Structures are given as structure tokens and as C-alpha cells.
DNA sequence: ATGTGTGAAGAGCTTCACAGCC
DNA sequence: GGCTGTGAAGCTCTTCACACAT
């Protein structure tokens, strides 16, 4: 293996495995079999082994996987082994929640700058960060070497803001605006549409 | 067609089509071809037609799809044609943002009750809603006929709270806690893991 | 001419099943 | 005995290509 690139779904599952392995580590578990890990993540054991196999051979036949080692490997594979800086644009309710969200830290992610265009918000402090004018975005991105962006403005401004973020040099954008954003090639967008997730659930009722 | 159930991916795309059709409607567009709609949603036109074909024949050869009619049909297919009530548990930063989130209304979703276990929060008003004690969850769910739940507590409490939500009679739960939740059969869980979405983006950098 | 609906082909993902290793 | 790694089979989803409708 290792020649063929893994399916996108594999990446999602590797993240789930990592989350679970961190729990096991906390409980003091030293090794885990693909079967046990699969149970905990609600997938098939062959799936776990296949997912891992895209990146190498990490297990010991007859024993399983070493928890500490596997965590290290997954962090490396998922590029979560070094801290990453992100810039947030749009400090409304969602933006504020993201600034205060504790979950990012655990994955080595830090929001190091926040922007808005509302003069009433500019200058305010949230969680050790001073909200700046969006006009300062490009400068800060360059200065701090930021590569990740989080877009949390209303839909009406999203396409416009997204373009500015791309022009500022951000290479990947996590968008909370429920709309299509067409970006220049080389800039990746991931959309989190809360109403859509909710609606998906409704469909299955 | 119509015998085979559609892939899960189709549901996600139908929601995207609906979002786009609503934009077109606002712009006063009367009809749209699968090709145009596909462009706007960044998929192939055959995909659009196939997705629709799982549920019936909605288009006119040589013309395309009537925007108003298609919106009506999609709302019906996705069960978004009647208002749905949801209960929120955990009014922290994320929970508060969700209570104030405007996007739900457009899909006919309304959060009609909010709960927390922090005595300091119980009794507070957020957006016309008084935060109640979690102990009142079951009673309110029954009383108001709520079927959807939103879980926005810290991870440490999530499994516990999820169980209470299931026992209270909620049939589907949207969880913002980054952890696996095993629910009794018949209760569906959809997890929105913000750090995971972010990490997925990092991987592709 | 233009555009839908769909069977069939193609691509991609998951599961099986077993050889090989501890 | 127990478990991993993986080719091959099986399955699902997507794309093609064309008959048919306006």
C-alpha cells in the first residue's frame, strides 16, 4: 500500500480513532486491538486495519496497537503534531463561541487573531484577543504566518469576506455561512451548515 | 426508480439544491436546468437528475425544473414542510450561539426550550426563552411534543445528558460534544465536531 | 434544438477471508 | 491461540450516453 491515496472518509475516521485513543490513554490502557478500537468507534475491525494500512504498518500481530505510539503516528499523519494558527472573521454569536471553544486547543489549533467590520466591536477583548478591523486581515496574516481561516459572518457578507480571506493568503477556510463559496484553486473550503445538519436529522425521523 | 432508497449523500445534496433554489427564487428566476443548478452547487448535472429521480419526475424535457415547484417538492421530500420543535441542553457559549442562530428558522426549525444544570443560568432569559433545570426536560418534551434535541454541554457531561435526552423521548439528537454517544436503537445521533472539521482542513493543507 | 430520466458502465469504498507473524 | 496486513470480492455511489419528451 502507501501508493494509493486514502479515501476522504478515512481521514474522518482517523480523527475519530485519535479521539478514542486519547480516551484510552487517559484510562491507562497500553495496547488496543483493531477489534476493540472498532467497537468503540462503531465501525468494522477490518476498516480500522485498512485505514491504518494506507499509511504504514503500526500493529503487532497477536498483540494489537500500542496506544501511545499510535497516537503519535496519527498526529503525524493528520499533521496535528505541530501547533497551527487560525484567523477568525466575524465575531457575532457563532464567532464568539468559537473564540471561547476549548476543543481546538487539544488538536493544536489556536485562533491568534479575530476580525470584524463593526466599529462597535473593534477594540473589544474576547479571551485575550483584541478584535481588529477586517482591513488589517492581510497584514496580520502575513505578519503572523497564519494559514487557516474561520468565516463566521452572516451569509450576506460571506462571499465577499471569503474572497478577502483568500486574497489575504489563507489556504483553508472553515465556513459557518450556509452558502456556496467559490474560491480560487489552491484554497480549500469546508462548510459547517448547522441548519443543514439539523435538517438531515429531521429527514431520518 | 423510487423503490431503491437513495444514498445518504443524496440527502445532503438535496439540502444544498434547496438552499440554491431559494436564492434563485429570490432573484426571480422561474425555471432552472439540471446543468445550471449543478454548476451553482458544484456537482455534475447527471448527479442532480439522478438525485431527483429517486423521488419522482419533476422536470420538463427541453425546459428544466420550475423553481417554485421544486422548492415545494424538496421541502416535502426532506420533511421540512411543517415546523419542527427542538430542545437545547447546555447553554454555554455554543448553546447560546445556537439559541441566537437565525438559520434554523428558514428550515422551519424552532428551539422551544432550553435547559442547563447551572443554578446561576436557570431562570435567565435568552432570546425570549427562559433557561430551565435539566430535571424538567422530560416533562417539557412530553408537554410540548418535542422530538429533536440539541446537545451542547461539555464532553464530560455529554454521555450522561444524551442518555437523559433519549429517556425523555427525543428521537434525534444533534450533538456538539466531540465524543461517541451510544444511544438506544431508534434514537439517531448526528455529531458536529468543530475541532474535527478544522483538523480535516489541516490535513489537506 | 434543448433538456429530462435512466439503464449500464465505471469508479470508489468496504468487507471478507486468509497468509503470515507474535 | 490471537491478531495484523492485504489482495480479491462485494457493494455502493457516480458518471456516461442515449432514448424520449417538449
pLDDT of residue A189: 93
Interstrand relation of B31-32 and B129-133 (parallel, antiparallel or unpaired): unpaired
Query: What 3-state DSSP class applies to B150?
Result: strand
Query: What CATH number has the domain spanning A8-77?
Result: 1.10.10.10
Q: Is A3 helix (H, G, I), strand (E, B) or coil?
A: coil
Model confidence pLDDT, tens digit, residues B8-58: 999 999 999 999 999 999 999 999 999 999 999 999 999 999 999 999 999
CA atoms within 13 A on the CB side of B38: 14
Q: Under 8 Å CB-to-CB from B35, ≥6 apart: which residues?
A: B45
Q: Does B106 touch chain A (CB under 8 A)?
A: yes
Distance, Å, A51 CA → C20 C1': 20
- Residue-wise pLDDT tens digits, A10-31: 999 999 999 999 999 999 999 9
Cβ neighbours for B163, distance < 8 A, ≥ 6 positions apart: none
Residues 60-89 of A with CB under 8 A from B: 78-80, 84, 86
B121-145: b (≥16 Cβ within 10 Å) or e: bbeeebeeeebbebeebeebbeeee
For chain A, the 3-state helix, strand and coil shares in percent, each to the nearest 5, are 45, 20, 35
Whether the CB-CB separation of B112 and B126 falls below 8 Å is answered with no
The reply to whether A5 touches chain B by the CB within 8 Å rule is no
Instruction: For residues B182 and B132, give the distance between their C-alpha atoms in angstroms, rounded to a whole number.
Output: 26
pLDDT in tens, A90-100: 999 999 999 99
Which alpha helices (DSSP H) does A5-157 contain, by range? Answer: 8-26, 34-41, 45-53, 67-77, 93-99, 103-106, 137-144
Percent of chain B with pLDDT over 70: 99
* Residues sharing a CB contact under 8 Å with residue A21, sequence separation 6 or more, in sequence order: A32, A37, A67, A70, A71, A74
Is the pLDDT at B3 greater than 70? The verdict is no
Instruction: List pLDDT tens digits, range A114-161.
Output: 999 999 999 999 989 999 999 999 999 999 999 999 999 999 999 999
Chain B contact present for A157, CB below 8 A: no
| Domain spans in chain A, listed from the N-terminal domain onward | 8-77, 84-198
Q: Does A11 touch chain B (CB under 8 A)?
A: yes
How far, in Å, CA of A133 to CA of A96, rounded? 16
Task: Please determine whether the domains at B8-77 and B84-198 fall in the same fold group of CATH.
Answer: no
Q: How confident is the model at residue A38 (pLDDT cuts 50, 70, 90)?
A: very high
CA distance A79 to A171: 15
Residues B107-130 have pLDDT tens digits of 889 999 999 999 999 999 998 999
Quick one: cell of B152? Answer: 451542547
CATH domain B84-198 topology = Rossmann fold (3.40.50)
Contact B40/B12 with Cβ under 8 angstroms?
Answer: no
A162-166 contacts at long range (C-beta below 8 A, 24 or more positions apart): A162/A189, A164/A89, A164/A134, A164/A137, A164/A138, A165/A87, A165/A89, A165/A137
Taking every pair of C-alpha atoms in chain A, what is the biggest distance, in angstroms? 63
> Residue A194, class by beta-carbon neighbours within 10 Å (0-12 exposed, 13-18 middle, 19+ buried)?
buried
Query: Quick check: helix, strand or coil at residue B101?
Result: coil
Measured between alpha carbons, how far is residue B150 from residues A197, B66, B146, B157 in Å? Answer: 11, 35, 11, 14
d(CA B174, CA B147): 12
Q: How far apart are CA A96 and CA B101, in angstroms?
A: 12
Q: How far is the CA of B149 from the C1' of D2 (A)?
A: 42
Average pLDDT across chain B, whole number: 94
B115 in Cβ contact with B132 (< 8 Å): yes
Instruction: Sort strands B188-191 and B125-126 into parallel, antiparallel or unpaired.
Output: unpaired
CA nearest to nucleotide D3 C1': residue: A62
Q: Which of B16, B102, B199 sits opposite A107 (nearest CB)?
A: B199
- For C14, nearest residue by CA–C1' is A47
**pLDDT of amino acid A2:** 44
To test the contact with chain A by mutation, choose from B27, B81, B110, B200 the residue with the greatest count of A C-beta atoms within 10 A, namely B200
Minimal CA separation from A131 to chain B, in Å: 18
Q: How far apart are CA B41 and CA B28, in angstroms?
A: 18
Measured between alpha carbons, how far is A41 from A47 in angstroms, rounded to an integer?
Answer: 11
What per-residue confidence (pLDDT) applies to B108?
87
Distance from CA(A107) to C1'(D7), angstroms, rounded: 35
Neighbours of A179 (CB within 10 A): 16
* Helices and strands (H, E) in chain B, number of each type: 9, 9
Percent helix, strand and coil across chain B, each rounded to 5? 45, 20, 35
Amino acid at each position: 500500500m502507501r501508493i494509493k491515496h486514502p479515501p476522504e472518509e478515512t481521514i474522518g475516521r482517523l480523527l475519530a480513532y485519535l479521539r478514542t485513543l486519547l480516551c484510552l490513554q487517559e484510562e491507562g490502557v497500553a495496547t488496543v486491538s483493531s477489534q476493540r478500537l472498532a467497537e468503540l468507534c462503531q465501525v468494522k475491525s477490518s476498516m480500522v486495519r485498512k485505514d491504518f494500512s494506507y499509511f504504514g504498518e503500526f500493529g503487532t500481530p497477536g498483540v494489537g496497537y500500542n496506544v501511545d505510539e499510535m497516537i503519535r503516528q496519527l498526529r503525524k499523519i493528520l499533521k496535528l503534531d505541530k501547533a497551527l494558527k487560525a484567523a477568525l472573521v466575524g465575531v457575532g454569536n457563532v464567532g464568539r463561541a468559537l473564540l471561547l471553544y476549548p476543543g481546538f486547543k487539544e488538536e493544536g489549533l489556536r485562533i491568534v487573531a479575530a476580525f470584524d467590520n463593526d466599529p462597535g466591536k473593534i477594540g473589544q477583548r474576547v479571551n485575550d484577543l483584541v478584535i481588529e478591523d477586517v482591513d488589517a486581515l492581510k497584514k496580520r496574516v502575513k505578519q503572523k504566518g497564519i494559514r487557516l481561516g474561520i468565516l463566521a459572518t452572516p451569509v450576506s457578507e460571506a462571499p465577499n469576506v471569503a474572497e478577502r480571506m483568500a486574497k489575504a493568503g489563507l489556504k483553508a477556510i472553515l465556513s459557518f455561512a450556509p452558502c456556496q463559496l467559490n474560491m480560487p484553486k489552491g484554497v480549500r473550503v469546508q462548510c459547517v451548515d448547522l441548519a443543514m445538519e439539523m435538517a438531515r436529522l429531521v429527514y431520518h425521523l
